[in-house]
Structure 1
Amino acid sequence: MASSPKPTPKKVSRSATCLCGAVAVTVTGVDKGAVICHCANCQRSSGSSFAHNYRFLDADITFDKGQDAVTRYEDGNTVNGNVLARHFCKVCGSNVFLQPSTPARMWILHTGGMQDKTQPSRELFTHNKHPWIGDVAASKPKL
């Protein structure tokens, strides 16, 4: 019996802006959903207890405006040792998007700058989660 071909993953587009509006981007790719990341670097970068991120695979990013207003920080002090390029607005300092060195063509938007907010489906690096935070995605698997 021949197996049926896997359906082609649906690509979606999401847009985000920085606080001052100098930077606007659109990412189009395979929807991997929103996550809460509790890693120490996301805590430091966000200035909070976690970062709320939206992930895309096999994705492309388009600058709707402000490419020259983006500063890139190469974060090599990650748990897995892979470089994570953190992009933020050099005018207002807002985190806008991230690009891991692997997998290729993965982009991550910070959900705070997105027009449509999405509930997270997973929590990452829960071993680093502050003990006073409840389950953000209680019914979903955790890494």
Structure 2
Amino acid sequence: MADIFYGSCLCKGVTYSISGRAQMSVLCHCLNCQKSSGSAFQANGFYNKSQFTLLTGANLVTDYHDSAVDAGCTLIRSFCSVCGCNLYTTNPTNPMIKDAIIVMSGCMEKTSEALDAPQMEFYVKRRRDWTGVNGPKTKEFQGMS
């Protein structure tokens, strides 16, 4: 039986569970992830949508269709309409990740148990000079490929 991990937004109005560990853990340094997170990068766990269950607060989740991303696609960034917490992202137009849900690690409880250290970093060309991963070396990509 898979481990169950939980997460929530800042106000705890939106809660969710995830069955099993992430398929991949990444850092994204693209400008939109920086703006969305309000930080130098976004730390994300990639899960299959079937692993994710929204427990409470579905009526509080608002989607922003972000079409101005470096990768040239439209991401659906979902956040809590009460506290503004960025929860997860989906990309139904990309065949490689159309069945994935990209969960923001900062919203997860027991993150170190649910996610491995990041294996990849995207948009390192936009990485701030003062950031770096303190752990296993990541694969670095200048963009999404």
What's the CA shift string for 1:38-67, capped at 9, x where partnerless?
010000011110011111136353211000
What is the SS of the residue equivalent to 2:132? coil
Q: CA RMSD in A?
A: 2.2
Q: 1:120 aligns with which of 118, 121, 124?
A: 118
Q: Does 1:52 align with 2:43?
A: yes
Q: Shift in Å at residue 122 of structure 1? A: 1.7
Q: Which has the higher strand share?
A: 1
Q: Shift in Å at residue 123 of structure 1? A: 1.2
Matches within 5 A, 1:30-109: 31-57=22-48, 59-101=50-92, 102=94, 103-109=97-103
What is the SS of the residue equivalent to 1:31? coil
What is the SS of the residue equivalent to 1:72? strand
Per the alignment, do residues 24 and 76 of structure 1 end up closer, same or farther by CA in structure 2, a change over 3 Å counting? same
Aligned residues: 134
Runs of 5+ unmatched residues, structure 2: none
Tell me the distance in 1 between the aligned counterparts of 2:83 and 2:3. Answer: 28
Tell me the distance in 1 between the aligned counterparts of 2:3 and 2:49. Answer: 11
Tell me the distance in 2 between the aligned counterparts of 1:30 and 1:81. Answer: 29
User: Which residue in the other structure is 1:6 paired with?
Assistant: none
Q: Which has the higher helix share?
A: 2
Mean Cα deviation higher: 55-64 or 18-27 = 55-64
What's the CA shift string for 1:71-111, capped at 9, x where partnerless?
11000111222111000001111111111122221101101
Q: Shift in Å at residue 14 of structure 1? A: 3.7
Tell me the distance in 1 between the aligned counterparts of 2:6 and 2:78. Answer: 15
* Aligned sequence identity (%): 30
Q: Computing the radius of gyration over CA atoms, which structure comes out larger, 1 or 2?
A: 1
TM-score by length of 2: 0.81
Runs of 5+ unmatched residues, structure 1: 1-10
Tell me the distance in 1 between the aligned counterparts of 2:107 and 2:39. Answer: 15
